[in-house]
A and B are shown apart, each in its own frame.
Chain A
Amino acid sequence: MDAVVFFVCAAVILAGAFGVILARNPVHSALYLLTTLVGVAVLFLQLHAALVAAIQIVVYASAIVVLFLFVITLLGVDRHEQLSDPRRFQRPAAVVLGVLVAVQVIVLAGRHWTTGVAPPGHALDPPRSGNVERLARSLFTDYIWAFEITAVLLVIAVVGGVVLARRSGQRPGVAPPADASETHA
C-alpha cells in the first residue's frame, strides 16, 4: 500500500514539475505547481510528518500559489513567451547539465565510499511518539532563537514588499496621475 501511494504521488509530482517548465501560459504553470505541491504534501503525510504536510498545504498550496496567480492577473502577463531563443545553445546545455547533476547526486551520494555513511536503505520503522508534540518541543526549545529571528525576517519581507511594490515618486495619500499605461497595468 505504501508503495502504491508513493508511486502514484511520484507520478503526480513529476508530471506537475514537467508541466511547470513546459507550459506556455504562466497560469497553467502555476496550476501545475499546485499539483506538485499537493503531491509533496501527501508524501509528507506518508513520512509521518503531519504538521509539515498541513503547513505545506496552507502556506505553499494556498498562499504562495494564490500570490503567483494574483501577480499574473495583476500584471496581465498571460502573453505567450517567444519561442526563438537569442542564445541558441543554452537550452540543450541546460538539459545536459541538469541530467549530469541528477546522475552525479544519485550515483555519488548513494554510495558508501563517497559520503562515508551507509545509504538509508532499510525499511522504515514506526515513529516513536506524536509528531506535532515532538516538533513543537524541538521548535520552542532547541530552535527558539531561529524561530524568533524568523519573525524579524517576515517583518523585513513585508516592509520590503510594500516599499518595492509602491510606485516610486508617489507620496502616500496623493492620488496617482491617471495616464494611459495605468489602465492597462
Chain B
Amino acid sequence: MLEVDRDPACAAIPHPQHAFEVTLTVNGEEHRLPVDARTTLLDALRDRLHLTGTKKGCGLGQCGACTVIVDGRRVVSCLTLAVMNQGKRIETIEGLGNGSLHPVQQAFIDHDAFQCGYCTPGQIMSAIGLIQEGRTRSDDEIRENMSGNICRCGAYTNIVAAIKDAIARGLDPREAMTEAVEAIRQDAERGA
C-alpha cells in the first residue's frame, strides 16, 4: 500500500488504485503491461516498450517531438496517461518503416527536412496526421497546422517542401500506414 493511501483524507476515496495492467495496441501489436497511474503514454512507449523513436522533448506539450497517432488522430503522447489509452490503437514512427520507407519519410530525406533529427519522428507523425486531415491546401495552411512541432535546427522550409512533395507523389499515407502495420503483424505471427 502506498503512503498516500494512509493519508486520512484519502479515506474518503473508495478503492484507491495506483497500479494498472493496461493493454495498448502499438503498431498493430497488442501489449499488456503493468503501469503506475502516473506513467505517461510517452514514457510507456519509450521506457517500457523500448520504442524510443518517439522522442521526449519538453514533456509539456509544447514541442511536438512525442507526436504519435492514437485512434487515427495525432496527439502529443506526453500529455496523456498510459492508463487513459487502454484499448486504444497507437501508431508510432516504428510502425512506418518495414524494409521500405514511408513516403513521408522518403520525402523528408529527399528534401533535407532535418539536421539533428531529434524532432523528426514527431514531425513525420504530425505530417501524416496533417495529410489525413487534409489541411494541406496551401503553404500557409501546412505551416499553421504543423505549428505544434518545433524544430530547433530551423528546417521548417524543407519540412513544408517535403510534405508538399509527399502529397504531390500521390501516395496515400493511410494505405502506407496500413501496409506497414499489416507487415508488422505478419512478422509477429511468424515469430510466434
**Chain A bound to chain B:** no
Chain A interface residues (CB < 8 Å from chain B): none
